[in-house]
Amino acid sequence: MTKELLKDLPNSLEECHEIIKILAEKNNILTLKNNELTHRLELITRKKYGKKTEQLDGEQLRIIFEDLQNEYPEVDLTHFKDETIEKIKQSGGGGRRITQDNEKVETRVLTHTLSQDDLICPKCQKPRVECGKEITTELDYIPGKFVRVKHERLKYSCKDCKSEIILAPKPTVLAIEKGAPSFSLLANIITNKYADHLPLYRQEQIFERLGVSIPRSSMCRWLQVIADKLEPVYDSIKQNILESSVVQADETPLKYLQKKAGKAKYGYIWTYIGDKGHNYVAYSFHTDRSGVNPDKFLEPYRGYLQTDGYTGYNKVNSKDGMKSLACMAHARRKFTEALNNNKVHANYALLEIGKLYAIERRIKDLDDEEKLKIRKIEAIPILNSFKEWLIKLKLKYSTNEPFDKAVNYALNYFDKLTVYTEQGYLSIDNNKAERNIRPIAIGRKNFPVFG
């Protein structure tokens, strides 16, 4: 060590302790930051390459239950352990079979017979008679094809006086006035794009192979015309949803192109779902994620609104007559993501949430009154115990680790997470809305941009 460096070293024990404290604090901050980045990388890797389900197999569950029993010896997990593992065993199975017994599938019977020569018995030279049949079934496919339909409207006139020429009436109303597509072709384009997530440029290529050239710009223009014609249907669906006792909502980003050429931007599609008596789904696209958008859609609505933790719904929920529900699946997901950070405690949280879902599976076919009664007797005690456990852990841990974030999330939304126990028709989670937003996410992988 050089003399210059020795001059900067502390001379007293107090100075040395102070430097050690500063270095330890910096090291602690770096460690926390490193842990957070590692956790985020694991989540991204799991989303990209890992399994999507949050369920565990039987062997994993056995190990988890052993750890939990060691950590919480006072809790009897036997019944829930056996029930959970048995459920996973029963859910396993082979692949799905091809189903052909469907009234939508046409059945054609081809009868194969012997020739006259083969019908003669070689022993007695008498003709054989039919004595049964053997049936083999194959599933055939006839590719789609275009049919050009020409409407010829005949003209009529009086041969004698030649005073007036009459034209035969139009056979049907055209799908698009002075346009080429039929209702059937338009329905096919719409289904391909929005149900099967097939972009217009791919449909253009498919049509080319079938011998017809339809530019995607034409298809895009047709979709705009049809969207305007379907607006009354959309308004009716929206009105039906707003008459519900509970509405579920969710949103997801989607790239879109503006009318003027330029770089694609991110917009958002909201989904709104009515209750069991108003089982409709409506989508609403906006160029931003502002809370003004759900507020405008739900302006006349009063009742329960179930969403995730996004603050954009706060404006709607703050109105008189509104009551907010949170989503238990989101709370569960936080603890699933924290498994690598605090395995035992995260698994215990998942176990408690699992008990609540076990109750919901058991009562799903009961009427609302019976559901409410069972939730009050069985679910509320579990929720109260779970909240006490979360509060104890919050006092014990106060870092910025993934598990602590999961605890904070659950506590911050706990009152809203328990609202589902107030009515039998309410749901424990917002999964129905998430399922209906999933087609947008699938389409997002196929469409370069929306529009």
Instruction: Note the pLDDT of residue 88.
Output: 47
pLDDT in tens, 309-339: 888 999 999 999 999 999 999 999 999 888 8
Residue linked to tokens 């009897």? 76
Looking at per-residue confidence, does 353 or 79 come out higher? 353
Distance CA 21, CA 33 (A): 18
Residue 1: predicted pLDDT? 47
| Cα–Cα distance for residue pair 423/376, rounded to 1 Å | 10
- What pLDDT was estimated at residue 313? 93
Cβ 410 vs Cβ 345: under 8 Å:
no
Of residues 73 and 357, the one with the higher pLDDT is 357
For 96-132, how does the pLDDT look when each residue is reduced to its tens digit (9 = 90+)?
666 666 777 788 888 888 888 888 888 888 888 888 8
SS3 track for 172-189:
CCCCCCCCCCCHHHHHHH
Range name among 25-29, 67-71, 312-316, 438-442 with the lowest pLDDT average: 67-71
Give the pLDDT band (50/70/90) at residue 415: very high
Most distant CA atoms of the chain, gap in Å: 129
Mean pLDDT to the nearest integer, 405-434: 93
CA-to-CA distance for 248 and 282, rounded, in angstroms? 11
Among 84-98, 289-303, 343-357, 411-425, the least confident range: 84-98
Confidence at residue 91, expressed as pLDDT on a 0 to 100 scale? 52
Stronger pLDDT, 194 or 40, i.e. the higher one: 194
pTM, whole model, 2 decimals? 0.73
How much is the pLDDT for 337? 87
How many percent of the chain have pLDDT more than 70?
A: 77
CA nearest 439: which of 250, 202, 298? 250
Give backbone dihedrals phi and psi of 228, rounded to 5 degrees, phi first. Answer: -65, -40
Q: Lowest-pLDDT range, 204-208, 264-268, 429-433?
A: 264-268
With a cut of 80, say whether residue 392 has pLDDT above it.
yes
Residues 6+ apart with CB under 8 A from 447: 197, 199, 255
pLDDT at 99: 66
Give residue for tokens 């079934």: 137
Predicted confidence (pLDDT) at residue 248 exceeds the cutoff of 70: yes
Q: Could you tell me the pLDDT band of residue 181, with boundaries at 50, 70 and 90?
A: confident
Q: Which residue has the tokens 């969207």?
A: 227
Q: What pLDDT does 192 receive?
A: 93
If one compares 122 and 85, the residue with the highest pLDDT of the two is: 122
Q: What is the mean pLDDT of the chain?
A: 82
The least confident of 61-65, 137-141, 282-286, 302-306 is 61-65
What local confidence, expressed as pLDDT, does residue 61 receive? 56
Please check whether residue 352 is in contact with residue 389, taking contact to mean a CB–CB distance below 8 angstroms. yes
Higher pLDDT, 163 or 266: 266
**Highest-confidence range of 15-19, 139-143, 287-291, by mean pLDDT?**
287-291
Q: What gap in Å lies between CA 341 and CA 174, rounded to an integer?
A: 62
421 has pLDDT over 90: yes
Domain ranges within the chain, ordered by starting residue = 173-229, 233-327+434-446, 330-429
Q: What is the per-residue pLDDT for 357? A: 93
Beta strand extents in 186-264 (DSSP E only):
246-256
